[in-house]
Structure 1
C-alpha cells in the first residue's frame, strides 16, 4: 500500500475547471473530465491527497450547481433567494471521505427571517438543485437525505425543533437521524447558519444524559468481520457471495466509533481521521485503542477506493465489495486482518461501555 501521510504535493491539478460551465450538461462534462483525471491518478497520488482532491471536486460541483440553479430560477421569474440559507452535506461528504461514486447526502438550513415567498422559493429550489446534481452525475440518496426533502431542508428554528425531537426520542430511527446530523458540514451560503446548527446540536448532546447511551447502542451494531479463528468473514449468499463488504465490514464501524468518541468529548471535527488524531492529541481515549483505529481507517480508505466499480454514461457506482480474486492476494488479506483486528478491539471496548451505561440506568 502507498504511503499514508498527506504530502501536500500531488501530480494532479488542484481544482476542477468550471470557468465555462453554464448548464447542467457542461457541469456534468466538467465533472467527468476531472473524474477521469482522478481515476487515472490513483496510483501516483497519496491516498489522503487523492481523497482531498475528490472532495474538493464534489464541493466545487455543488457550489456551481447552486449558482446555476439560482440563475435558472431568476430567469423563470422566481427572483433571487428571499432570505439567507446554507447548503450543507452529510454522510461521507460531510466527513470529506466521499469517493468518486458517492451519492447525494445534503440539506439546507434556511434563515428564520420573514418573507412571503420563502417557503415557495426554497421548496422549488431544493427540488431543482437536487435534480441539477443528479444531472451532473450524483445519484439521489435512497434514504432521501437531500435538500429536495422537507425533512432535510428547514429553517434554523425548525431544525432546532427537529434536533430536539430526535434527541428526546431514543428509539433506533430518531437516533439514527441524530447521528446523521452529527456529520453535517457547511459547503455554501451563510456560514453563520451552519455554525448555529452545530452549536445547538452540541448543546443537545451535552444536555441530554441518556442520548450518549442511545448513540452508543446504534454504534455497536455492525456485521461480524472476523470469526473466532481470526479469519475474514465473507458474504455467504447472493451476488456477492465469497466477497468482503469493505464499507460495512470495516469503514462504517470505524466511522461510527470515531464519531461516538468525538461526540463524547465535544469535538467539532467531522472528518474521521481528524477526529481520531484530535482524540489522540487530547489523550481523550486510550492510545492503544485510537492508534490501531487510525491505521485501520487508512487501510479502509485504501480498500474502499479500490473496491469494484462500474460506469454508466459518466455516472460511477460501486458495490463496496472486495472480489474473490483480490481476497486471494496476501497483501490484501494482511491489510484486512490488521484493519479488522482494530475494528474488533474498538467494538469490544464500546460494548463494555454500553454494558456499563445500561447498568447505570437500572
Structure 2
C-alpha cells in the first residue's frame, strides 16, 4: 500500500507530547485513539501496532511529567531523587492494543533522601490514578507503580530479583517472566540499564530458573481438539467464543520469550525476538511459522470488540462465534493454533529432557 494514502491521517502524537494538563492529555489521547481506529484497515498490522504503541508511550511519558507537576503544585515538591518509569507486559513488548490496561513500575535511585519513600508512594498511586483517568484500566494482577512490589529502589529491585531466583514456585517465576519484558518510558535511563544488567546476569547464573520458566511456559489452555477443531469457551457469557489472548497470543509470547531468554536475547518485542532467533538458526521453519501465527494473533487481538466506560477502555479479548463462521479467518486461526501446538510439544520434550537430567 502506498504511504501517501494514509500519511495525512497519521495520529497526532505531537498534541500528546505537549499536552499541558491532564484534561488536555485525555482529550488528545481520545483524538489519537479515533484516528488509529480509522487507520486499522489501511495499514499492515505491524505498522498499525507500532503507531498504537507510539501513542501509549507518549501518553505514559507525558502522564509521568504531569504527575510531577501536580504533586509539586500540591506541595510535595519535585522528585527528591532520580527515577525511571517503566512498563511491562504487552506495553513492554510494544504489542498493546488500543484498550490495553496498565502494566508499569518504578525504578528509584539508591540516593539517600529522607522524603524519598513517602514521595514515591504518593507518586506511584497518583500516576496510576492519572493513567486510569486517561483511559487505562488498572491491572487486575496489580502490576502497577502504585504497588510496592513493582515500585522499588534499584538495590531493592536487585534483592527482589535474587529472591525470585531462589523460589521456583508459580508466582515468583511468573513475576520474573513479567519482569523480562521491562522497557524504559521516561526518567533516568541509566537506572534501567543497571536493572537490565543485573537481570541478565541473574538469569545466566540460574539454570534451574530456566527450567522453572519452561515449566510455566508449557502450561496453556487447550485450543484444538483431537479432530483439529478450534476449542471455544463452553460456559459463561463468552460461551461459543474463542479466547484470543490466552488461546493463541499468550502461548506464543511465552514460548518465544523462553527461547529468547535461553539465547541471551535482550529484545522485549516478540517479533524482534523471533528475528534474532531466526538469525541464530536460519534453517528452522519453526520461527517463520511462529511469525505468521503471531501476526495473526495481533490482528485478531486488534479486531476484538471493546467498550468505553467513564473514559476507560477495556476489552474481553474474545473472538465472537459469529467471526469463527468466516472460513478465511477460521483457517488462519487454525493454522496459528497448529503452530502453537507444535511449538509447545517441542518445548514439552525439552522440559522432559531437562527434568530427567535433574533426577
Q: What do you get for the CA RMSD once the two structures are aligned? A: 1.7
Distance across 2 between alignment mates of 1:121 and 1:236 = 48
User: What residue number does 1:302 align with?
Assistant: 299
Over 3 Å counting, the alpha-carbon distance change for 1:9 and 1:220 in structure 2 is farther
Are the aligned partners of 1:166 and 1:178 in contact in 2 as well (CA < 8 Å)?
yes
Distance across 2 between alignment mates of 1:175 and 1:295 = 28
1:347 aligns with 2:344: yes
1:185 corresponds, among 183, 186, 205, to 183
- 1:321 Cα deviation from its structure 2 partner: 0.8
- Please list, as runs of the form range in 1=range in 2, the aligned pairs for 1:187-336 lying within 5 A after superposition: 187-283=185-281, 287-336=284-333
Distance across 1 between alignment mates of 2:87 and 2:18 = 25
- 1:228 Cα deviation from its structure 2 partner: 1.0
2:85 corresponds, among 84, 87, 91, to 87
Distance across 2 between alignment mates of 1:8 and 1:235 = 42
1:101 corresponds, among 99, 112, 115, to 99
- 1:187 Cα deviation from its structure 2 partner: 0.6
- 1:315 Cα deviation from its structure 2 partner: 2.5
In structure 2, runs of 5+ residues without a counterpart are none
1:338 aligns with 2:335: yes
- 1:7 Cα deviation from its structure 2 partner: 7.7
In structure 1, runs of 5+ residues without a counterpart are none
Are the aligned partners of 1:308 and 1:320 in contact in 2 as well (CA < 8 Å)?
yes
Distance across 1 between alignment mates of 2:17 and 2:25 = 10
Over 3 Å counting, the alpha-carbon distance change for 1:169 and 1:8 in structure 2 is farther
Are the aligned partners of 2:85 and 2:106 in contact in 1 as well (CA < 8 Å)?
yes
User: What residue number does 1:169 align with?
Assistant: 167
Distance across 1 between alignment mates of 2:273 and 2:317 = 23
- Please list, as runs of the form range in 1=range in 2, the aligned pairs for 1:39-54 lying within 5 A after superposition: 39-54=37-52
- 1:319 Cα deviation from its structure 2 partner: 1.0
Are the aligned partners of 1:227 and 1:233 in contact in 2 as well (CA < 8 Å)?
yes
After TM superposition, the runs of 4+ consecutive aligned structure 1 residues lying more than 4 A away are: 6-10
Mean CA deviation greater in 24-33 or 257-266? 24-33
- 1:82 Cα deviation from its structure 2 partner: 1.1
Are the aligned partners of 2:137 and 2:313 in contact in 1 as well (CA < 8 Å)?
no
Distance across 2 between alignment mates of 1:313 and 1:167 = 40
Are the aligned partners of 1:7 and 1:49 in contact in 2 as well (CA < 8 Å)?
no
- 1:314 Cα deviation from its structure 2 partner: 3.3
Are the aligned partners of 1:254 and 1:297 in contact in 2 as well (CA < 8 Å)?
yes
- 1:74 Cα deviation from its structure 2 partner: 1.3
User: What residue number does 2:33 align with?
Assistant: 35
Over 3 Å counting, the alpha-carbon distance change for 1:20 and 1:108 in structure 2 is closer
Distance across 1 between alignment mates of 2:184 and 2:77 = 24
Q: Structure 2 length normalisation: TM-score?
A: 0.96
1:67 aligns with 2:65: yes
- 1:21 Cα deviation from its structure 2 partner: 2.5
Distance across 1 between alignment mates of 2:144 and 2:197 = 22
Are the aligned partners of 1:296 and 1:338 in contact in 2 as well (CA < 8 Å)?
yes
Distance across 1 between alignment mates of 2:192 and 2:303 = 33
Are the aligned partners of 2:57 and 2:185 in contact in 1 as well (CA < 8 Å)?
yes
- 1:234 Cα deviation from its structure 2 partner: 0.8
User: What residue number does 2:147 align with?
Assistant: 149
* SS class of match (2:62): helix
Distance across 1 between alignment mates of 2:183 and 2:243 = 27
- 1:311 Cα deviation from its structure 2 partner: 2.4
- 1:63 Cα deviation from its structure 2 partner: 1.1
* SS class of match (2:185): strand
